Amino acid sequence: MKPVGPIPAGYAAIDGELAIGGRRVSELVAEAGRTPLFVYSRAHIDARVAALRTALPARVGINYAVKANPHLAVIGHMAALVDGFDIASSGELGLCVAVGIDPARISFAGPGKRDDELEAAIAVGVTLNCESAGEAARALAIGERLGKAPRIAIRVNPSFELKGSGMKMGGGAKPFGVDADQVPALARHVIAAGAEWRGLHIFTGSQALSADAIIEAQGNVLELAAKLAGDIGQPLPKLNMGGGLGIPYFPGDTPVDLARVGAALAERVESLPAVLAETELCIELGRYLVGEAGVYLTRIIDRKVSHGVTYLVTDGGLHHQLAASGNFGTVVRRNYPSAIATRYGAEPTEEVNIVGCLCTPLDRLADAAAMPEAQVGDLVAVFCAGAYGATASPAAFLGHGPAAEMLV
């Protein structure tokens, strides 16, 4: 038997069913009209942002990384909660503009921005986190053609990384950003060429649970930013420090000690060197803001036994929840937090494999998991589904189509 990951706090049962936003899952599915269904909880998002505001120094803003969950209702809800938005495509720019977000609150990162994307961003006043000298040259040329100074920050590839992070975005050769030793000359060039200088973006990694590692990385980021600002010889208007805060997915994972991270960052901020005295600071978070707010609901459509192993076959699967299937960056597959949503809180009585509807052995949502006995028609809940779920999965695979989504 294999354990499932820890179910996030804040979920409860009503009449034996999982409730999200105070409503039973069967009601939510009826409202959506179908399964599979992603449900995103406003209450969880609000609580997470409030906890960050309490823990972090007031000077440090919060940016939402739209890539984590670009559902239009989620972006719209975030508009009143966070200070800025980080996008990775012109498609995400369109979503932000569609819900009325001021482009001045938006920054655009990504190592392969097309000319049409650069033009769209420059035209409305989005900050470009330039990732190479070539990209900066294209942005300057487009700005000259438009008669508009591009707002340019430089994404830095630091020599250090976020230790223990699930995905390392800095340290050594990387496709992301400009190597730190090349940044001062490039910054001076774009400033001299007439760009509106917006500062630096230093992102070292993501999905870290160690407070010590996050504290060390944030300290390194601030030290590097101060050195680069001095070498550039110009004030640093803004520093995006990246994020890196992870969430517990698997057995044995523990939440980030946010209070420790915030206290250490406050100490650093209080003793910043003069060169950063007027710099606007922010951290960029995606998964940490919305990951635990999402639940993926899929219906059991068959129950079968093969060589003594019980399988619960659902109408969902890896085409919506690639990460939960273990096929999105993990080496050893482990069970995400999951439950029988329509028997929530019932004692487990059997060991089951929960699988999807696709004709591939990779389509697994839970292996050898202890669950209460479930039947055809019951709903399965996969938690921690609010980030890198619906849009980070191959929804077109085998023609099953996308899942429904709602914010409650």
Q: What angle do helix axes 211-232 and 258-270 make, rounded to 10 degrees? A: 30
DSSP annotation string for 326-351: T-SS-SS--BPSEEEGGGTTPPP-EE
The one-character DSSP state at 208 is B
Cβ within 8 Å of residue 15, ≥6 positions away: 24
Task: At 17, list the tokens.
Answer: 């069913």
Q: Is 249 helix (H, G, I), strand (E, B) or coil?
A: coil
359 among known catalytic residues:
yes
| Catalytic pick among 130, 282, 357, 359 | 359
State how far the alpha carbon of 373 is from the alpha carbons of 209, 306, 333, 347, 392, in Å.
34, 17, 24, 9, 31
CA gap 121, 286 in Å, rounded: 21
> Strand pairing of 309-314 and 294-306?
antiparallel
Q: Are 87 and 108 in contact (CB under 8 A)?
A: yes
Residues in a beta bridge with 306: 309
The count of C-alpha atoms lying within 13 angstroms of the C-alpha of 227, restricted to the half-sphere facing its C-beta, is 13
Long-range CB pairs of 155-159 (<8 Å, 24+ gap) are 155/109, 155/129, 155/130, 155/131, 155/200, 155/201, 155/202, 155/203, 156/180, 156/183, 156/200, 156/201, 156/202, 156/224, 156/228, 158/202, 158/204, 158/220, 158/221, 158/224
CB atoms within 10 A of CB 300: 22
Q: Are 282 and 237 in contact (CB under 8 A)?
A: no
Cβ within 8 Å of residue 345, ≥6 positions away: 13, 16
- C-alpha radius of gyration, the chain, whole number: 23
> What is the distance between the terminal CA atoms of the chain, rounded to a whole angstrom?
34
Q: Which residues are catalytic?
A: 359
